[in-house]
Amino acid sequence: MNRRTFLKALGATGVTATVAGQFVINRSTGEAGAPHAAGVVRKGETWVPTVCYQCPGGCGILARVVEGKAVKLEGNPQHPINERRLCPKGQSALQILYNPDRLQHPLRRAGARGEGRWQEITWEEAMAEVISRLKTIRDQGEPHTVAIMHGRLRGEMEGLIHRFLEAYGSPNDISSASLGRQTAKVAHLLTQGIEDLMAYDLENANYLLSFGGSLLEAGGPPMRVVGAYGQIRRGRPNRAKIVTVDPRFSITAAKSDEWVPIVPGTDAALALGLANAIIQMGAYDKDFVANYTFGFEDWTDEGGQKHKGFKTLVLEEYPAKKVSEITGVPVANISRLAAEFATNKPALAINPDRGALHASLGGSYTGAAIHSLNALVGNLDRPGGVMVQRYPLCVPWPDTQMDETARKGLRQPRIDGAGSKRFPLANSIYQTVARNSWEGNPYPLRALLLYYTNPVFSSPQGQEFVAAFQKMDFIVDFSPFFSDSNQYADLILPDHTFFERYENDLPPAGTGYPVVGLRQPVVEPLYNTRHTGDVLLQVAQGLGGGVAGSFPWKNFVEILQFRLSKLGVSWEELRKTGVWAKPLYPFTSPTDSRWHSVVGTDRRYAPKDGRFDFYMRELKGLFEKKGITEADLAGMNISARGDLVYLPHYEAPHRTGDATEYPLLLNTYKLMTHAEGKGGNVPGLQEMLGLHVGVKWQTWAEINPQTAHKLGIKEGDMVWVESPQGRIKVRAKLYAGARPDMVNIPFEQGHAAGGRWAQSRGANPNTIIPSVTEALAGSAAFTSFGVKVYRA
């Protein structure tokens, strides 16, 4: 369906109306709606505010609705995350709502798993089956063998799912965070004592040192970053310098003042090499480091034992020459970058939510090393510096009503191993679920619920989930579309699209100050679908007892109204504007009583003394609590010993495959059009997929021209990219922005199911990536693995 046919089908016609102040007046109803960029509306039309769900950004959207049909999207100028801007994913999102491949009613599997044979059923039949299956498992005393795997959740859906599992008696709330943002959160916890992504005052910084992660394309939130980029480049008298450290010449690198093509997985060594130079120059913030940090200098504990400090470590282990040999960055550049960073204040070292932190098995140490640069120059909670994201004050959830079955189930270990001695700081480990369940370690899963997630596609070696699914008793998926994973489900109970449902959204690490976006229906549901929140509430009532008693709300909207009732704004006003915010970030200083909300708040095993930890006391306390000794470190793939374990340091990347047979390193990355695996079925995104290389609707491999010449590969050739795990067939693109020792492949294509525009197009690089997990955060590694490339 082309754009002309698409719009004609919606019948967008009418007459103009007027604008009253900041709000549009709908002549047909006389009601005030959201502001409209064009300044006019048409008869029978409204502009309804909602929140995008295509990426983690949580951008505000205005949907133009004509005669009950959404026909156009704009950015909401009142939403502080995007301030009228809207990225390609948001602009094309109506192709989700009106997609011809949406699931229109509940489905039950009618053949063997994976055959793709389905039977339409009623919601009453579907709910009865879910309640019966889950009740049987619980009555048999095995609630812990049920899990919910989900994609990113913010707002009350996150709390609802966690509460449902707690009341039911399962510890297995499995988030996809280990595929992305979890490592950065752990790094910040170990150093600053804040278990969250950091917000950055980009607009007021004079120097940005971005370590991988494609800040403009895939940073978070993207439209917030893009707006800040415009401000620091053209919106103020003094233009900030941007330096991007990335193995690949990304769009962010192209828009930067300098690109540093580092050897993948060596970012920690570079960060510590920069620290070495800054310390030698005496250019660090001596007052802040001396008075408000811990472990910079060598120190002696209460028992009289001496410990190595950060300063001694970097001066001994990370001189510029050694760092240059590790990273491939010239010595002169290391010294120059260090001097620039230390003298162009305020300067920011930006931790990615993926990228560099998923390039090795030392991702948490890498994140700690990068973040230590901010403390070294004293740029915490200052204008132009690191900010701690604040959140709105919501009414607390009431206590869950737990019976003995629930308490017994919650005492069981998690299926993914998160929080165990092997993965002590992990909250969730998405990629380990398949193998653990399949092997029955610590037990096999009997039932699995999938909410907006697709582990067969998104996880390294996702085919392991196919084998695991075959051994499960019951699988339910809530996606509005077919997916690689729900082909193996017993039931598919399709959710509304985000244009048809209520949710609240708390943007992560954006403005620093609290923001609540309201996702609300802009049209009536097109099909016989249901809000998954309402489905879970109905299941809870059907299970009875304490599970039912834990959910006194009739529907999900009542939960929203309950939780958001302390915002100081009425429900109707929130619906009109689509967003609530408490602007202006409250910067503090170490002498301010509020400083403890900035440093140390989330520590559990170390003092909350307001000190940034160069020596990570939280990690040391955790290891002591769990009895983790040096004998355990080898099994955790941590090579460091002694004090080095508790200091930011460089862990060499874990490489699979013999370097002679697999001489190139595979680097996978995200583009602006990446929609967490959902973008493949959006034709508008497919059309603009690889603009920088002139490729769309397929997968390509970026190969350095010199490397391609040696391999006898020409522009546009179809090639095999092979690892010890398998091979995929892609198109070769000769790209000078690829390191000669690397091959770069983007995510998004390679779906076995998912709609006519996604299915059987291109290849999924996850299928040739081994499933390897970093020990501290439990995060998956996505790069630094050996491959070979040859003509197909």
**Averaged pLDDT in 10-residue chunks for the chain of 792 residues:** 35 27 33 44 84 86 95 94 89 95 97 94 98 98 98 91 98 93 94 95 96 81 87 91 94 94 94 98 97 97 95 97 97 98 96 74 93 98 95 95 97 96 94 94 96 94 94 97 96 97 88 94 97 98 97 98 95 95 92 94 96 98 95 92 96 88 92 74 90 91 97 96 96 96 93 92 93 92 87 94
- Where a domain ends, among 569, 587, 618? 569
Within a domain: 626: yes
Instruction: State whether 683 and 739 are in the same domain.
Output: yes
Instruction: Kindly state whether residue 786 falls inside one of the protein's structural domains.
Output: yes
Answer yes or no: do 606 and 481 share one domain. Answer: no
| Residue 558 lies inside a defined structural domain of this protein | yes
Residues 491 and 446 in one domain: yes
Q: What is the CA radius of gyration of the chain?
A: 26
| Residue 4 confidence (pLDDT) | 35
**CA distances (Å), origin 332, targets 273, 324, 336, 338, 457:** 12, 9, 6, 10, 43
31 plus 168 within the same structural domain: no
> For residue 13, what pLDDT is reported?
28
Whether residue 492 contacts residue 118, with contact meaning beta carbons closer than 8 Å, is answered with yes
CATH of the domain at 743: 2.40.40.20
- Does 309 map to a domain? yes
- Based on the domain organization, do 423 and 539 belong to the same domain? yes
Position 58 in a domain: no
Clarify whether residues 448 and 484 are in a common domain: yes
CA pair distance 372, 196, nearest whole angstrom: 16
Do 165 and 28 belong together in one domain? no
Residues 377 and 453 in one domain: no
Domain that holds residue 716: 664-791
- pTM to 2 decimal places: 0.93
Q: Do both 379 and 420 map to the same domain?
A: no
Asked, for residue 267, whether it belongs to a domain, the answer is: yes
The CATH number of residue 335's host domain is: 3.40.228.10
Closest CA to 369 of 324, 293, 314, 299: 314
Ramachandran assignment for 304, one of left (phi > 0), alpha (psi -120 to 50 degrees), beta (any other)? left
**Could you tell me if 746 and 730 lie in one domain?**
yes
Do 463 and 356 fall within a single domain? no
* Integer CA distances (angstroms), 204 to 238, 383, 586, in order: 10, 6, 15
Domain annotation covers residue 93? no
- Residue 223 has what pLDDT? 85
What is the count of structural domains for the chain?
Answer: 4
Query: Both 623 and 746 in a single domain?
Result: no
Residue 97 lies inside a defined structural domain of this protein = no
Q: DSSP assignment, residue 534?
A: H
Continuous segment of H or E residues that includes residue 405:
helix 404-410
pLDDT of residue 452: 94
Q: Cβ(153)–Cβ(175) under 8 Å? A: yes
